[in-house]
Amino acid sequence: QVQLVESGGGSVQPGGSLRLSCVVSGSISSIYRMGWYRQAPGKQRELVATDTSGGSKNYADSVKDRFTISRENAKNTVYLQMNSLKPEDTAVYYCNVNLMSWGRPYWGQGTQVTVSS
């Protein structure tokens, strides 16, 4: 069984920064892909960023050059550094992992990020 726990969300003013953390626990041998998704009220869940084993990273156009995804494999933790936050970044952010390329995804409970003045 795999569990994901996000932390680091909160309320900030436009232009501020937050760092989200996601700790993956359970029976883990390796992690193929880690990522972050977000869902704003009334909208579909969308991909924010992914970090795939081998070093490849993918970002949504809306966050490119502002957000950075990274991981610490020894801690089974993935981070999302969010800078220059905008009101449209307001959403519940969900951590996601795939242990294998063919495996099912696991999701965290979500952490709220609110950007407002």
Has residue 54 got a pLDDT over 90? no
How many Cβ atoms from other residues are within 10 Å of residue 69's Cβ?
20
pLDDT recorded at residue 98: 93
Has residue 17 got a pLDDT over 90? yes
The answer to whether 92 and 45 are in contact (CB under 8 A) is no
At 1, is the pLDDT very low, low, confident or very high (cuts 50, 70, 90)? Answer: confident
CA distance 27 to 29: 7
pLDDT recorded at residue 106: 95
Percentage of the chain exceeding pLDDT 90: 82
CA angle 43, 44, 46 (to 5 degrees): 120
pLDDT recorded at residue 65: 96
